Chains A and B, each alone.
Chain A
Amino acid sequence: MDDKAAEALRTYARGELTSRAVRDETGMDYSDILAGLGRLGLRPPVASFDGINGPALRRGVAVLLAALGEHTP
């Protein structure tokens, strides 16, 4: 992995770059991106609930938890 790819992956892991941008910049597909993160000791970013789609994300989780509550023994 070259320095440019490593830097792109670090930026991606911090949530400051999308996987699509990493792909465009480095030519790696998503599978390569995951493997590259592993080699660098990083993991995929987690979306913040504070962002523009935070309310929709919160609703999604709330709906899923409610459904799981009704369906799990």
Chain B
Amino acid sequence: MKTYGLIVCDASPLITLAKAQALDALLRQPWPIRIPDAVYREAANEANEEGVLIARWVAGHEDRVQLTPTEAGIEQDILLRSGAKARNAGENAALEVINLFLERTPDLRAIRLYEDDDVRRLPMIDRAEIMTTSSFLFALERADLIQSVDHILDQAANAGRNVESQRGERSEDSVRDFVSELRRHGDQTRA
């Protein structure tokens, strides 16, 4: 089996999972997790409840989760300390980490984790697949490692509200169908 590293490329997946109290879902895959420093700084904002959760979660899983320093992160730190905005710091830091990871480990591949709305504008990178929060969760659901993607997304957007208006949309159906098809194929192969 090819070996991968999971690189969290923006703060949003961490925030979504923290809001849903589901950060541990990230640990239900077998690969090491890397979080670029600038992404971590955006996600672990201690002014927010989920920021505190993210900071505690990272600190509690140092064996699986590694914070990776970057030049973009250093620049972000300097700008923030001087009261300026650091635009695109997370994005630039993620790119640095992906490139460094692929350069230093030529036998490994990367999985880039983004929030779903980000994937349309992403550049293709050789040896680096793409995962979104929802596609990651759909795979875990299919493998019976989480109970329900719907539940987690609902929790992230304040659980218990009426989300019927979005259920059954084409995107979700397309992802579910694909994941089911893939799993069926895998089951038949193993049988």
Instruction: List chain A positions with a Cβ less than 8 A from chain B.
Output: 12-13, 15, 17-20, 30-31, 34-35, 37-39, 41-53, 56-72
Within 8 Å of chain A (Cβ to Cβ): is B145? Answer: yes
Q: Is the CB of A31 within 8 A of B15?
A: yes
CB-based contact B171/A69 at 8 Å: no
Q: Are A51 and B1 in contact (CB under 8 A)?
A: no
Known: A68-B143, A69-B186, A70-B1. A44 touches B134 (CB 8 A): yes
Residues B1-51 near A (CB distance < 8 A): 1-2, 4, 11-12, 15-16, 19, 28-31, 45, 48, 50-51
Measured CB to CB, the residues of B under 8 A from A are 1-2, 4, 11-12, 15-16, 19, 28-31, 45, 48, 50-51, 111, 115-122, 124, 129-136, 138-140, 142-145, 153-154, 156-159, 161-166, 169-172, 174-175, 178-179, 182-183, 186, 190
A42–chain B nearest beta-carbon distance, Å: 6
State A35–B15 Cα separation when bound (angstroms). Answer: 11
Q: Majority SS of interface residues in chain A? A: helix
Q: Return the chain B residue nearest A69 by Cβ.
A: B186
Q: How close is B86's CB to chain A, nearest CB, in angstroms?
A: 14
Q: How far is the CA of A37 from the CA of B12 in the complex (A)?
A: 14
| A70–B190 CA distance with the chains assembled, in angstroms | 11
Assuming the contacts A31-B48, A60-B131, A67-B30, asked whether A45 and B171 have C-beta atoms less than 8 A apart, the reply is yes
Known contacts A65-B139, A68-B139; is-contact A19 B115 (Cβ 8 Å) = yes
Complex alpha-carbon distance, A45 and B172, angstroms: 9
